[in-house]
Structure 1
Amino acid sequence: MARSLLALAKTLCFILHVQSCTCGEAEIIGGEKVTAHSLPHMALLYNSLGNPVCGGTLLSSTWVLSAAHCFKYEIDTVRLGVVTINNSKTDGFVQARKVAKQYKHPNYENATFLHDLLLLKLSQAVEETMAIKYLPLANTIPDPKEGTICLVAGWGMVNVLIEAMSDDLMSANVTVIKRETCNLTKYNNTGYTITSDMVCAGTVDENPDVRDTCRGDSGGPLMCNGVQVGITSFGKGCAIRTKPGVYTFLSKQHIDWMNKVMQKQELF
């Protein structure tokens, strides 16, 4: 019975996308529990029903960066300093803020995931503490080279058969793969084109544990050499070695757009 359920999970994983399932693996696939407050820029986004749905990055006291496709979940609240979801409402380190405004990239395409960026303006400033730190945007971000080891993190789902986020914040290392490789039929039968505004990353070594992001991790950061270079965007299922995750690249065009929005709105 257990074998048949796992087979079903993997089948469902294969046909879904947008970091849609975990194929019976744990949390952020192939990852490990994050040491408390070691990623103090991580944000957890909640919908209007009070359910956690996406991740994000705290850029400043009033701005959070996430993925545009998370907009459909009707983001209402952001919690910072979260270690475990179940304790987030009673943990004295956690700060919760309502979302005042949301800005999707004007060229975002739901059908192709191009320009999958979302800026959230918080209704009240967040105070920096030992558990909560801002991660400002770099002025320019080099395109990560093939083979670069990067970090992903989030509270993604535990199992495709269980509609629940991971209680713990998890992280994993993924390896950047060339766009040309990811666009080969072997790697890409999603129908999506991996463009210069995207980064492809997954598991390329012989480790049997495939590392990947999944549903619920969307909007979280892709960190390379301590710098955020991307945003968790989409993938063909989860934890499939030949179907690596795809991340929105924080290109100069994207950074310019974000800075323009934030600077303009701070005047009001």
Structure 2
Amino acid sequence: MARSLLALAKTLCFILHVQSCTCGEAEIIGGEKVKAHSLPHMALLYNSKGNPVCGGTLLSSKWVLSAAHCIQSMICTVRLGVDTVKNSKTDGFVQNRTVARQYQHPCYNADTKIHDLWLLKLSQAVEETMAIKYLPLANTIPDPKEGTICMVAGWGMVNVCIKEMSDDLMSANVTVIKRETCNLTKYKNTKYTITSDMVCAGAVDENPDVRDACSGDSGGPLMCNGVQVGITSFGIGCANRTKPGVYAFLSKQHIDWINETMKNESYSEECPTQ
């Protein structure tokens, strides 16, 4: 009887979480712990209170790429080389940097979630080590095809009933789903339209262990065939088969903005009316 009640409680907890989860949050559900320092490009972003809130990618010695909606968290510090969060202050591999400047994509729209990109310039260059490596972007990134298996990683929540970030860096595999499919009523991810500047990815088979990037993984990279193709952006609920995660796609326009901003720290673009 006790086991039955426990199972019922877990089920109710999952349902309530899925119904109440807000958009603009992302976490690793159903993933596995990453081997120490095997993803040396991962960055962990801390707010003004000293709490980890988002992920990111170290593109060069002074630049980190993340998601524009993370700006709401007032990011002040970036930590590189983190294996476990609790040990990050004393771990000799970790390098801490304050944020000198921040550049939100000029066309980011919080209402539609398009162009969810954010660049952070660090106050001091990061030194490459065995635990910290840069991950420069390719000049052009092919649109990932339906069925492509990709990886998402971060320190976000690992349990829908425990709203705490993971102490360990976690990763999970997700499958790319066609935008047309994600925009169908069955798969509709909240009120947002999945555009050509987004990638939709989640679970497509009958495996009951649904893996998902669903609060804490926002801004982290979506890696396909070893190449970063996107940034964890938004979703509804967690590990919900009919609500796949959505990622900002690193289109040519986005890559041009990133390169120009890092080079000249300025970028002019006429944004479409939303």
Name the TM-score class by shorter chain: over 0.9
Label 1:237 to 1:250 Cα distance change in 2 as closer, same or farther (>3 A): same
Label 1:100 to 1:112 Cα distance change in 2 as closer, same or farther (>3 A): same
Within-5 A mapping of 1:1-268: 2=6, 3-18=8-23, 20=25, 28-188=28-188, 190-265=190-265
Q: Which runs of at least 4 in structure 1 moved beyond 6 Å after TM superposition?
A: none
Q: Which residue of 2 aligns with 1:24?
A: none
Instruction: Name the CA distance, whole Å, in 1 between partners of 2:84 and 2:231.
Output: 22
Taking structure 2 as the reference length, the TM-score comes to 0.92
Q: Any conservation in 2 of the 1:76–1:98 contact (CA below 8 Å)?
A: yes
Instruction: Name the CA distance, whole Å, in 2 between partners of 1:114 and 1:19.
Output: 12
Counterpart amino acid of residue 265 in structure 1: E
Q: Please identify, of 159-168 and 115-124, the stretch whose mean Cα deviation from structure 2 is larger.
A: 159-168
Structure 2 counterpart SS, 1:180: helix
Residue 160 of structure 1 and its aligned partner are, at CA, apart by 4.1
Residue 50 of structure 1 and its aligned partner are, at CA, apart by 0.3
Q: Any conservation in 1 of the 2:25–2:217 contact (CA below 8 Å)?
A: no
Provide, for residues 29-64 of structure 1, a one-character-per-residue CA deviation record: whole Å limited to 9, x for no partner.
111000001000000000000000000000000000
Label 1:20 to 1:219 Cα distance change in 2 as closer, same or farther (>3 A): closer
Q: RMSD over aligned Cα, in angstroms? A: 1.5
Residue 182 of structure 1 and its aligned partner are, at CA, apart by 0.3
Q: Any conservation in 1 of the 2:182–2:189 contact (CA below 8 Å)?
A: no
Structure 1 counterpart SS, 2:256: helix
Structure 1 counterpart SS, 2:57: strand
Structure 2 counterpart SS, 1:153: strand
Structure 1 counterpart SS, 2:69: helix
Q: Any conservation in 1 of the 2:30–2:158 contact (CA below 8 Å)?
A: no
Q: Any conservation in 1 of the 2:31–2:172 contact (CA below 8 Å)?
A: yes
Q: Equivalent pairs: percent with the same residue? A: 76
Q: Any conservation in 2 of the 1:20–1:238 contact (CA below 8 Å)?
A: no
Number of residues paired by the alignment? 261
